[in-house]
Homo-oligomer: A and B are copies of this chain.
């Protein structure tokens, strides 16, 4: 069964006590069925255990309405609603810098739809830049298995054009604007290598 957010995005459960997690360790080395989120979580875990950076995904924001307390077992949330995130999904610290990013994927071949981003997330990226943080997006074209890092500074102008009717960014422009991240084995998406170049110039 597939859960979807109100915006249609697939919700991927991480498994309770390992029971509902259908991705077995041995199958993970091929990328079949791995979501961008899973790849990034694996990469962040690599960064953490190798003492490279401390970057975490924020939990899904939920509005809790009802909680049930069964005897002798854990509290169960029995009614909650998905809330729109007020920030991007990932943040943390790398070489003393504040790192903040959002990751999105599309099945489109020729362009990346802007509707994948919430208004709050766009506002948040602007604020992070204003306060001296490093803000960016990771964009995956699922069909080609290509991931691009595009700095917030470079992608934000496209959102301003949404008012005048822009709905997506052509893939060719993303290839120019951003940097393609070579996909690896471990870590899968080594995005901090790209960030290194920016930090050197800060």
Contact = CB atoms under 8 A, between A and B. Distances in A.
A186 interface: no
A28 interface: no
A27 B4 CA distance: 38
Given A80-B80, A81-B75, A60 B63 contact: no
Contacts of A51: 127, 130
Size category of the A interface is: 35 or more
A94 interface: yes
Contacts of A80: 62, 76-77, 80
A96 interface: yes
Interface stretch (A8-16, A29-37, A171-179): A8-16
A96 B95 contact: no
A54 B124 contact: yes
A131 B95 contact: yes
Given A4-B75, A76-B80, 6 more contacts: A6-B75, A15-B63, A91-B92, A93-B131, A97-B98, A98-B133
12 contacts: A15-B63, A20-B65, A54-B128, A58-B58, A74-B81, A76-B80, A77-B77, A77-B82, A78-B78, A78-B79, A97-B132, A98-B99
